[in-house]
Amino acid sequence: MKKSVFIISEDLNNGVIQSQVLNQIKFLRKHKICEFIILICFWDDKQVEKSKKLSSNFEKYYNTKIFFLKLMTPKLVFSDYINSNRLSVFFSKLKHKIDYIHARTDLCAVISFELKKKTKAKLIWDCRGYGPAEIDYEDNRILNFLKRRYLQYRFDYACKISDKVIVVSSFLKNLVQRIKKDNVFLIPSTASSSLFYFDEKKRSMKRKELQIKTKDLVFVYSGSLKRYQMFDETIRFFKSILRKKNNAILLILTKDFSIAREKVSRMKNIKVMSIEHQEVNSYLNASDLAIMIRKKDLTNKAASPTKFAEYCLTGLDVITNTSEMDYLNMKKEVNNIHNLESKYFSIDSLKKSNRKKTASYYKKKISKEAFINTYKKLYE
């Protein structure tokens, strides 16, 4: 079995990290493809407060080792060079032999360059978004032009130095292949079918626990409240539904509990909850429809939302718009995706798909298990 270090710069308390990093590590070890240690890079102590509290339990649950390395803030000139050397020196002290460096972002890929040279390990860049486009969500427009130029350079440089690149959308694949023609793997954000699946008993039990009636129509929003998630637009959409259907209920599953609760404090029929990642499946089973609205921009065109995989593996119908083109191509098979921007869209006439059939279809398309041969090739 191959050995790798997974380098990230995000919080372990993040649902996406738990799904796309921690559960991925567990999955690849289970299938004897690769085993990992995790290195969390940070430049602000507050950035890792929750991660450090969780790390001990996570090491036991996911059967891995988690290390922390404080770096210079990426905002400073020459920080990439300094951080690359700092990372290499730190890792040499750990005395871990590795075959691969799995870098989750372009930043992590760039600062892994010295480690790659020193260890002769192959560098896999896990490209999950397009940094230059994400600048549009920042408020300081004066610096945005310069930031965008730098982030484009970093994106291109990560392409050049990586031995293999994972991309999550066809849009990203086209961007990467301008520079790197070979060893580009299109793997959308997946979820494990052992964690996300439809179960009628789970649905019944959770609805009973939440005091949801049989005739209630339950919508669900799962995720953070970042601007590109369009949470405020989601709430406005639900309000329009509530005016037509007084039996509509919205479940909001988010780690941003306080902010979400404050935003909807004066609204009825909304339940806000902060739950662990392992609990999400039960709440999705209890729901009837998922809402996933995204802005039409390059950030979302490049993206592959983890929540989409989780929604569909539980057989949910998804109300969305046309911003995520890759997944809209799947709707022809099971008709569980409903475009709210279509002139034919109506909540009253919306015909829901067969949940068991939908879950079964997506298990073959966007579950981790569906990509096992691709993972084997990635780490061969």
pLDDT at 213: 96
Query: What angle separates helix 49-62 from helix 23-30, to the nearest 10 degrees?
Result: 20
Tokens of 82: 């300094």
Each residue of 289-344: pLDDT tens digit? 999 998 888 888 999 999 999 999 999 999 998 766 687 777 778 889 998 988 88
Q: Check residue 324 and give its pLDDT.
A: 63
- Is 200-365 in the same CATH topology as 2-186? yes
pTM comes to 0.93
Residues 284, 156: Cα–Cα separation, whole Å: 38
- What's the pLDDT score for residue 248? 97
Q: How far is it, in rounded angstroms, from Cα 174 to Cα 302?
A: 10
Q: What superfamily does domain 200-365 belong to in CATH?
A: Glycogen Phosphorylase B; (3.40.50.2000)
Neighbours of 107 (CB within 10 A): 21
**In the prediction, which pLDDT does 327 show?**
77
Rounded to whole angstroms, the Cα distance separating 60 from 64 reads 7
What does the DSSP 8-state code read for residue 105?
A: S
Q: What CATH code is assigned to 2-186?
A: 3.40.50.2000
Which sequence spans correspond to the domains of the chain? 2-186, 200-365
pLDDT one-digit tens code per residue, 237-255: 999 999 999 999 999 999 9
